[in-house]
Amino acid sequence: MSERYRGHFIVLEGGEGAGKTTLARSLAERFRETGRETVLTREPGDTVAGEKVRELLHLELSPWSEVFAFLVSRAQLVTTVIRPALERGDIVICDRYEASTYAYQGWGRGLDFDELERVNRLATGGLEPDSVLYLDLPPATGLERKHGEADALRTGQEELAFHERVRAGYLFLMEDAPPGRWHRLDATQAPESVATAAWEALGG
Ligand code: TYD
């Protein structure tokens, strides 16, 4: 569903250690330099409820409980941060969004895609990104980069085969997306090269 608002909703997606956080910061800086109001946010987190959800996600949850935890964070973020910013005309850069649920809980955990889509739509009210930047990286490389990270959630601690399925999921989602929405970036490149490629993909 496409919606009418004045802002631009950019989502960064990718597996573990792909460099989304670094790219998000760098893009926000570039947009601000051009004078655009820019909101930088991430999932899960960035609201009081979202931070509680992060705590919850350290527990051993059933696959569907995990989905609903992510959706609590998403619903709260959409309502209190993302939608208001887009209505003001801001650029919103969000580190992960619905594609993470499809890739991790759908492909990774094997939950039914149509059901995930249904519950996700309830959480987002149908708000979809204008642009998705997908940072593609072999999962083994990404896991190596993230090795030993203190705050890793349970999904980040899964075995390599899980992360290979997540990547397959992302590649499927990219193929299936409306033309022009998804942009694949080679995340094996240096961060500055990734940022330049991202900026060009966004038409900057
Ligand atoms: P996080 O610590 O925020 O780091 P990063 O986004 O840099 O990987 O980890 C978020 C974890 O949550 C990550 O393993 C992906 C996972 N995740 C899901 O499984 N489903 C979701 O819907 C979202 C938003 C994240």
Indicate the top mutation candidate among 25, 59, 100, 124 to test ligand 1's pocket, ranked by most ligand atoms within 8 A of CB.
Answer: 100
Residue-wise pLDDT tens digits, 60-119: 999 999 999 999 999 999 999 999 999 999 999 999 999 999 999 999 999 999 999 999
Opening angle at CA 6, ends 9 and 128, nearest 5: 35
Domain enclosing residue 24, as ranges: 3-201
Q: How far is the CA of 35 from the centre of ligand 1 (A)?
A: 30
**CATH number, domain containing residue 14:** 3.40.50.300
- The count of other CB atoms within 10 Å of the CB of residue 123 is 22
Q: What is the pLDDT of residue 1?
A: 36
Question: Is residue 15's pLDDT more than 90?
Answer: yes
Q: What's the confidence (pLDDT) of residue 85?
A: 97
Nearest-CA residue for ligand 1 atom 2 is 152
Instruction: Find the 8 Cα to ligand 1 centroid distance in Å.
Output: 22
CB of 43 closer than 6 A to ligand 1? yes
Please give the number of the atom of ligand 1 that sits closest to the Cα of 42. 3
Question: How confident is the model at residue 95, as a pLDDT?
Answer: 97
Report pLDDT for 3: 59
How confident is the model over 135-191, as pLDDT tens digits?
999 999 999 998 877 778 999 999 999 999 999 999 999 999 999 999 999 999 999
Ligand 1 geometric centre to CA of 11 (Å): 13
pLDDT reported for residue 125: 97
